[in-house]
Structure 1
């Protein structure tokens, strides 16, 4: 399990950096608006369709492809919405463009961290995320 522990520590570090960007986009003196924090709902919802599709389907039938494709579609919609949320807030003047840039940087790091978590702990028989 040393590889699993190293991956878990790396993913934790990456998520801490992404959340730091998000918090700085909210809490810096020149920005001072906490609207970008609502993107945390998107972070929680983004892996749900893939985990649900994996849980509901088995690899033996053709309907697995349809279920998996729908899960990819819904996950993509959630991820694109998390990026679009900050852009819409900046465009309407609710947050400044600097805060939008920091929040988008945090979004990118968090999305890749979630993807990495699903790749490392969601696919192998020997590494199961339920053990943690």
Structure 2
């Protein structure tokens, strides 16, 4: 749990650096925070609606994977589009993409660690 919190803090630090460094001074990349909050929602809803998320392939599970993939790709594409149009600099784009990768890997790690409902906490 501590490692997940630390890696999320590192990812958000990359995002803030991409916005706040004196050579960038542009806060438009902070809009990727919406994608951070939206990305786990389809999976959480699908796990709630589906009886067996891991082994069964249902339409609900497939739709949640599709929506989550779209959200993650949008979060990675937003800084590239902003840099391509000249709204932000390419250095800021690199820092925001690095932050995105770290934060989304942290979210993925959270679902791997805490996604198993059969986990017995007394064995730790």
Shared fold, TM over 0.5: yes
Deviation for aligned residue 1:57: 1.4
Provide the residue aligned with 2:91 in structure 1. 98
Q: Which runs of 5+ in 2 are unaligned?
A: none
Deviation for aligned residue 1:126: 2.4
Q: Does 1:15 align with 2:8?
A: yes
User: Given the alignment, which residue of 105, 112, 116 partners 1:119?
Assistant: 112
Could you state the TM-score of these two structures normalised by the residue count of structure 1? 0.85
Q: Which runs of 5+ in 1 are unaligned?
A: 1-7
Please list, as runs of the form range in 1=range in 2, the aligned pairs for 1:1-132 lying within 5 A after superposition.
Answer: 8-59=1-52, 65-126=58-119
Could you state the TM-score of these two structures normalised by the residue count of structure 2? 0.91
* Native 8 Å contact 1:57 1:64 kept in 2: no
CA RMSD across the alignment: 1.7
In 2, the alpha carbon distance for the partners of 1:106 and 1:115 equals 14
In 2, the alpha carbon distance for the partners of 1:12 and 1:125 equals 23
In 2, the alpha carbon distance for the partners of 1:124 and 1:114 equals 17
